[in-house]
Amino acid sequence: MAAATVENWSWFTALALGVSFLKCLFISAYHSTDFEVHRNWLAITHSLPISRWYYENTSEWTLDYPPLFAWFEFGLSHVAKHFDSNMLVVENLNYASPSTVLFQRLSVIFTDVVFIYGARECCRCVKEQKGSRDVLIWPSFILAVLLLWNFGLLIVDHIHFQYNGFLFGFLLLSVAKHLQSQHLQGALLFSVLLNLKHIYLYVGPAYGVYLLRSYCFTQHNKDGTLQWRSFSPLRLLALGSIVVSICALSFGPFIAMGQLPQVLSRLFPFKRGLCHAYWAPNIWALYNVLDKSLAMLGVQLRLLKEADLPRASMTGGLVQEFQHSVLPSISPPITFLCTLLSILPAVASIWLRPQGARGFLRCLVLCALGSFMFGWHVHEKAILIPILPLSILAVESREDARTFLLLTTTGHYSLFPLLFTPAELPIKVVLMLVFTIYSFCALRKLYSGQGSLLHPLEVVYLLGLVAVAIVCEVIFPLSPWQQKLPFLPLLATSVYCAVGVCYSFLRLYMSLLRQQEKHKQL
Amino acid sequence: MQTWSVVSICVLLGIVVRWGVSLNSYSGAGKPPMFGDYEAQRHWQEVTYNLPLHEWYFNTTDNDLNYWGLDYPPLTAYHSWICAYIAKMINPEWVELHKSRGYESPTHKLFMRATVLVADLLVYIPAVVLYSLHLTDGSSNKKVSTLFCFLLYPGLILIDYGHFQYNGLSLGFALWGVLGLGLGWDALGSMAFCLALNYKQMELYHALPFFCYLLGKCIKRGLMGRGLFLLVRIAATVLVTFALCWLPFLPDPNQASQVARRIFPVARGLFEDKVANVWCSLNTVIKIRSILSSDSQLYFSFACTLLAVLPSSIRLLMKPTFWQFKLALANSSLAFFLFSYQVHEKSILLAALPVCLLLSDLPLIAIWFLQASTFSMLPLFMKDGLLMPYAVTWLAFLFLSIYLLSALEHCSEEKLRLVAYYKLIFCLSKMEMACTVRWKFYISIAVMAGLSIASVILVPPPHLPDLFPVLVSTTAFLHFLGTYIYFTIVQFSGPPSRKSQKKNN
């Protein structure tokens, strides 16, 4: 350990292997219905012809990822048959034999190799600080821990069960390629990613504008404004052909079979409600609570009659369709508009004044966070999309480190309700502590000598999370309210976290504007 | 980074690994009528909670000693009694007399696992942290690395959190004893060791080194002056601690003798199952149990044990330094494991603890032995359905400890403390020595891995049903014997490098 140097990447191997072993320990832990979702997709892609993939509906968990992911499952299924071929039968609903569990868990752990590779490429792009001998506080080491040992990714992928690590691998690789100025490869990887999981469309605007502005235009004026004459049609053509060919590869067969409308209807189901069963900590969680408090206030002040209010709008906490009683109801086009408005300044700024790949990365984080804040039916897991790329910025600038600490701590805490089984409680608490202690101590040490990283009020807010955690996880389940108001801890968690996420969003925007100012002064 | 943050991260990771292992199955899960050690512990809670103290160790209508009768010293019984009170508060069905036999449920498993974790958090883990930070030398990074490896030793985790036992408590108390002696608080140290002894009688494996070290220290100070004072103080501490532990049983001599009979069951034979000790390995060649009567077996094994323990004890008595003490602990527990009567495969944990103490001094040998000790319990893990955690923790410990302690770079004669002997016997050059040791290590790891895979995948031939357990125990036995010989040589070779000697005096 003492002999390790920046060139010697043995510490990276140790980190990656260590976390992989840890993942293996969670094989027999609780897994959510997503486990059955993916088992079902294995079965569908393995035993049905392509033309039936997007029509099959024996299970309620129909295939709703883009075709490349279906092909990925198809590939996995050929390994799966050596473990237990019964899992590949579509009718075997909720099939979870020990070898099925083993196979599915191992498939997540092994496909994480893509993520490990992506993280390594990102670590290579980090600017090193010379002089420090303690390997634990090298920027590249910190980044490697923040990515590989990310708490959210560990519990969502390896306990809850999903393939996010594999997908984020593509995202990180593509970001790293842009940081290394290999834009075509970056674009290729991103279009593959889009065809694996379409949720990454959220960050599409950042990619589109950045590539168009900084790749297709080869030069810009001295003040950073656009030089129209430097447009290179050849580059646009190359870029376009890459994207189109990947999409053609993925969607081509379905277009040829005339199934495109069916595929798209599976990919974009707008029948769901504004918020997921458990509200993601975004602006709509605050909006819902405001609406409910106003309604209650109205009833108290006799301004509203209880009978007029929509029934059971909140008591369940699990009601999918949400009717607002006082404030206007929100429809998908409104959320779409809000999302667009929220990311517009960020996208405009990289068009007007591009600041290289790091400006692009900031814009990407803002797009991801903006759509998390204002999107329709957002899952709490989507908070990982801004958190992971933000890690890269956090080890390079003090301001971003501050935002990162706020966003990750609240965002990660908001994932707690994902694991509600008592046996997994110690794991989630301890892993969260490990990640939080490390990120705070390492980043503080990295930027030591420049004052404290967080404002005292922010510290108080974050410490409040501890109180929320104790009340929600320990005190409330033991109290009599557990029977009457089971949704209350979820509500408190999402509202409390929403405040932190909104604040981080604003801070991130402020740092963008500040960078613009700095740029102007130069 | 500050040491406290790295230490807390290491401890937290140690907890996550422990809890991760505990999600798996336990011994005797769903296997009536006898179940396993999990049921034994639960049964003790039931017995101690419902019966008056004077019936705990006796066969009565309410206490069937043939069904997991209490056979550990009083502290274990008290511990069960405390756990039973908590269990009763959560769910009275868990400890109901007679009716709760074989009780199994996910919530109960969670409760039992939590009791192990709490015991570990209170006793074992703090002792490991203090030992690694205060009694090992090197930079703070190296100390933390040692701490991390110490906490991750797979054998103990798998037995306590997988198979289900409370070794963390007895070993933890013994470790507090070591800590006390190492820091110069001899009376506190001996008190902690008495607690260990009263939790599990197997701690006797460590008793001789404790005795010799303290006696040697007293002699060194002069038996007529300050030494005598120290001796009296230690003796008084030991007597008082024992008296307090046995207090409820002392008034009735009948009680005390029954407890002692339960604790030392001489009627159970020279060895059970496949243990990696001398007798079991010898059994493949000579059927020793049919040659000797059971009484002479007892005396013979006793004589052999004594013979094997004596050299290291005498050496320690003459030269009571902390370094010698650590080596003597390893030697004595290995000697007991290899030669004594009625040894269980899990008793290798008693030898593993002192070897863990040597992780920072002799990294390669310590890791090697620890891997072999975990490997020796493979048949047990297979029976309990703990293959996956076994494979994961075994590999993780191998990889991480070698990386963190840079073990493979520390195998020259000097680092292995064998300078004098090798010059004398082999006249090998420095390079060759390091090289051969490394190669032996690789081969042995490959053999252990290969045998592990073979025992899982291959079906033994019908006329040799025990082929793989015997191969496993023999391989492990060879490793243990080799380690014993090596540690004895190190103990008798010159003092360790100057730096550690300064520290230890």
Task: Tell me which of A180-194, A299-313, A366-380, B364-378 is least confident.
Answer: A299-313
Interface of B with A in 81-110 (CB under 8 A): 106-107, 110
Q: pLDDT tens for residues B196-242?
A: 999 999 999 999 999 999 999 999 988 888 889 999 999 999 999 99
Average pLDDT of span A189-205: 94
Neighbours of B92 (CB within 10 A): 11
- Closest alpha carbon within chain B to A106: B388
Which of B2, B3, B7, B19 should we substitute to test contact with A (largest number of A Cβ atoms within 10 Å)?
B19
d(CA A368, CA A385): 6
- Closest alpha carbon within chain B to A133: B1
Q: pLDDT at position B505, please?
A: 35
Q: pLDDT at position B205, please?
A: 94
- Domain map (residue ranges) of chain A: 275-329+377-522
Please answer yes or no on whether B106 and A423 come within 8 Å at the CB atom: yes
d(CA A272, CA B123): 52
- Tell me which H or E stretch contains A179: helix A164-179
Please answer yes or no on whether B1 and A442 come within 8 Å at the CB atom: yes
Q: How many residues does chain B have?
A: 505
Average pLDDT of span B308-317: 94
- A244 touching B, CB under 8 A? no
Q: How confident is the model at residue A376 (pLDDT cuts 50, 70, 90)?
A: confident
Residue B199 falls in which region: left (phi positive, over 0), alpha (psi -120 to 50) or beta: alpha
What is the residue-wise DSSP string for A339-387? HHHHHHHHHHHHHHS--HHHHHHHHHHHHHHHHHHH-SSB-GGGGHHHH
Please answer yes or no on whether B23 and A423 come within 8 Å at the CB atom: yes
d(CA A383, CA A498): 11
Partners of residue A10 in chain B, C-beta under 8 Å: 403
d(CA A190, CA A200): 9
- B142 touching A, CB under 8 A? yes
Q: pLDDT at position A512, please?
A: 86
Q: pLDDT at position A132, please?
A: 66
Is the Cβ–Cβ distance between A88 and A46 less than 8 Å? yes
d(CA B381, CA B468): 13
d(CA A315, CA B150): 51
**CA geometry: angle at B354 spanning B351 and B357, to 5°?**
150
d(CA B411, CA B409): 6
- A21 touching B, CB under 8 A? yes
* Average pLDDT along chain B: 89
Q: Position of tokens 């993601």?
A: A280
Three-state secondary-structure class, residue B358: coil
Shortest Cα–Cα distance, B404 to chain A (Å):
6
Q: Position of tokens 């100057």?
A: B498
Please answer yes or no on whether A28 and B24 come within 8 Å at the CB atom: yes
Please answer yes or no on whether B106 and A10 come within 8 Å at the CB atom: no
Neighbours of B121 (CB within 10 A): 14
Partners of residue A21 in chain B, C-beta under 8 Å: 392-393, 395-396, 399
Please answer yes or no on whether B406 and A2 come within 8 Å at the CB atom: yes
Q: Which of B318, B299, B358, B317 is nearest to B334 (CA)?
A: B358
Partners of residue A26 in chain B, C-beta under 8 Å: 20, 23
Is the Cβ–Cβ distance between B322 and B182 less than 8 Å? yes
- Closest alpha carbon within chain A to B15: A430
- Closest alpha carbon within chain A to B392: A21
**pLDDT(A2) > 50:** no
User: How is residue B226 written in tokens?
Assistant: 């300050």
- Tell me which H or E stretch contains B294: helix B294-318
**CA geometry: angle at A271 spanning A498 and A163, to 5°?**
65
Partners of residue A28 in chain B, C-beta under 8 Å: 23-24, 388
Interface of A with B in 404-423 (CB under 8 A): 422-423
Q: Work out the burial of residue A74: count CB atoms within 10 Å of its CB; fewer than 13 is exposed, 13-18 middle, 19 or more buried.
A: middle
User: How is residue B18 written in tokens?
Assistant: 């422990």
Is the Cβ–Cβ distance between A473 and A421 less than 8 Å? no
Q: pLDDT tens for residues A467-502?
A: 999 998 888 888 888 777 778 888 899 999 999 999
* Average pLDDT along chain A: 88
Shortest Cα–Cα distance, A136 to chain B (Å):
7
**Phi, psi of A217, rounded to the nearest 5 degrees:** -100, 120
Shortest Cα–Cα distance, A222 to chain B (Å):
43
Q: Position of tokens 């003092």?
A: B495
Alpha carbons within 13 angstroms on the beta-carbon side of residue B347 total: 27
Q: How many residues does chain A have?
A: 522
Task: Tell me which of A217-221, A284-288, B18-22, B471-475 is least confident.
Answer: A217-221
Interface of B with A in 384-413 (CB under 8 A): 388-389, 392-393, 395-396, 399-400, 403-404, 406
Shortest Cα–Cα distance, A460 to chain B (Å):
20
Q: pLDDT at position A3, please?
A: 42
Q: pLDDT tens for residues A321-357?
A: 567 777 888 888 888 999 999 999 999 988 888 888 8
- A26 touching B, CB under 8 A? yes
Three-state secondary-structure class, residue A215: helix
Chains A–B, number of C-beta pairs less than 8 Å apart = 90
**Phi, psi of A275, rounded to the nearest 5 degrees:** -120, 155
Percent of all residues in chain A with a pLDDT value above 90, rounded to a whole number: 60
Q: How far apart, in Å, are the Cα atoms of A255 and each of A41, A136, A278, A394, B115?
A: 21, 52, 36, 43, 60
Task: Tell me which of A55-69, B22-36, B97-111, B258-272 is least confident.
Answer: B258-272
Partners of residue B9 in chain A, C-beta under 8 Å: 434, 437-438
Q: Position of tokens 């496909």?
A: A111
